[in-house]
Amino acid sequence: MTALRGGCHSDIMSTENTTDSDVQVSNNEAKSRYVATLDGEQAGIAAYERSGSTITFTHTVVDEAVEGHGVGSTLVRYALDDARTEHLTVVPQCEFVAAFIEEHPEYQDLVG
């Protein structure tokens, strides 16, 4: 897997060639990470640290083989939607998550 943008590297932010139904995302709370799977295989992770009502996204990684296919965007969208549902304040330490929020103003209200 390759890290996305600075701790989280990549320029694939606006490229989304898969459909949301192709990528499945789940929250592995025991490992503090959201996990994206594609065709039953792990395709990416968004690591986080949780403290009270705050979630800090620290690192996002997507498998090189699926970079540019929207896996990272789908993963982050799911994680942010989950944070909204849980009424969490988001700290986008990972540059990929920060860039996603910047490009999607509907998530900016989550940032604390």
Q: Residues 22-69: pLDDT tens digits?
A: 899 999 999 999 999 998 999 999 999 999 999 999 999 999 999 888
Measure the CA–CA gap between 40 and 58, rounded to whole angstroms: 25
Residue 43, Cβ density class (10 Å: 0-12 exposed, 13-18 middle, ≥19 buried)? buried
Coil/strand/helix, residue 94: coil
Q: Which range among 5-9, 39-43, 69-73, 74-78 has the greatest average pLDDT?
A: 74-78
For residue 69, the domain's CATH number is 3.40.630.30
Residue 32: per-residue pLDDT: 98
Residue 39: per-residue pLDDT: 87
Number of domains in the chain: 1
For the chain, the residue count is: 112
**pTM over 0.75, yes/no:** yes
> Domain range spanning residue 44?
2-110
Q: Strand locations in the chain, DSSP E?
A: 2-3, 23-28, 33-38, 41-51, 54-62, 89-92
User: Secondary structure of the chain: what % helix, strand, coil (to 5)?
Assistant: 30, 35, 35
